[in-house]
Amino acid sequence: SNMFKLLTWFSMLFVAGSTLVLGQNNTAKDIFILAGQSNMAGRGGVNQGKWDGNIPPECKPKRSILRFTANLDWEVAREPLHVDIDVGKVCGVGPGMAFANEIIRSHRSGTGIIGLVPCAVGGTSINKWGKGSRLYGQLVKRANAALKDGGGTIRAILWYQGESDTLNKDDAETYKGKMVKLIEDLRLDLNLPSLPFIQVALASGEGTNTNIEMVRKAQMGIKMKNVKCVDAKGLPLNADNLHLTTMSEVKLGLKLAYAFLLSFSHFH
């Protein structure tokens, strides 16, 4: 058991060391912002207020995948990615780690290092994300902080949100206009006029099927440069009929990765 203790200590040292080496802000990274509500923050494996801790191989940590913490530091990324961001909720597996692992696996990360910037918060309607809101301000602040000291390039915003906007018809009907404005505002405030935006068309919602379909139609109907949509519909849901299961989140992460690789991986 002494040998085991020694090995554990060495591996801890190794992880700590790699965190420090890779965590320096001046390491060039391909940065991805994860934003939206609970299905982006991740509820995979969460049942009755507990996360089961199950981490599929597609979501395992790698030294080349970093996470931007709530304290604006880089660390080696691991599930749950949103643990200190979507606070007051139990976070589980989301799409971020599966996404990052697939980008690395395809060797299409320009730098070989991915920086994930989690910003998603459960139960948030699009109104809570509009310019001038706290969440909008947080996203812009975190994105800019992640870039400090030439620390890399923001490659895309991954966006999964809208379940809360299915609660009433009015919100569902006005969703498209608000989403278009949000994309325009973020591109302006991040000073990235052609920043890729990959959004997820809803798999579920809190309101009626009619409203869910209205939001989905809005999401798939946005025709803007460098805006892509992947469809989550049909991915198996938890017992709550609202949140994606762990394996569904993995599949979504892969869908997001393929959308990015197909459309945007010719790194400028």
SS3 137: helix
In a domain, 16, yes or no: no
- In the prediction, which pLDDT does 265 show? 77
In a domain, 172, yes or no: yes
In a domain, 161, yes or no: yes
- In the prediction, which pLDDT does 26 show? 62
Strand partners, 160: 36
| Catalytic residue list contains 243 | yes
In a domain, 232, yes or no: yes
Q: List the catalytic residue out of 30, 243, 248, 265.
A: 243
In a domain, 22, yes or no: no
In a domain, 65, yes or no: yes
Q: List the catalytic residue out of 38, 64, 109, 265.
A: 38
- In the prediction, which pLDDT does 180 show? 98
Domain count, the chain: 1
Domain that holds residue 45: 29-265
Which pLDDT tens digit goes with each residue over 166-219?
A: 999 999 999 999 999 999 999 999 999 999 999 999 999 999 999 999 999 999
- In the prediction, which pLDDT does 12 show? 53
Residue 183 belongs to a domain with what CATH number?
3.40.50.1110
In a domain, 5, yes or no: no
| Catalytic residue list contains 38 | yes
- In the prediction, which pLDDT does 108 show? 79
Token digits of residue 78: 């691991």
In a domain, 49, yes or no: yes
- In the prediction, which pLDDT does 197 show? 98
Residues 94/219/257/16 CA torsion (nearest 10 deg): -40
- Cβ atoms 156, 264 nearer than 8 A: yes
Helix axes 209-220, 169-189, angle to 10 degrees: 30
| Catalytic residue list contains 106 | no
pTM comes to 0.90
Residues of the chain with pLDDT under 50: 13, 15-23, 267-268
Token digits of residue 210: 């009619």
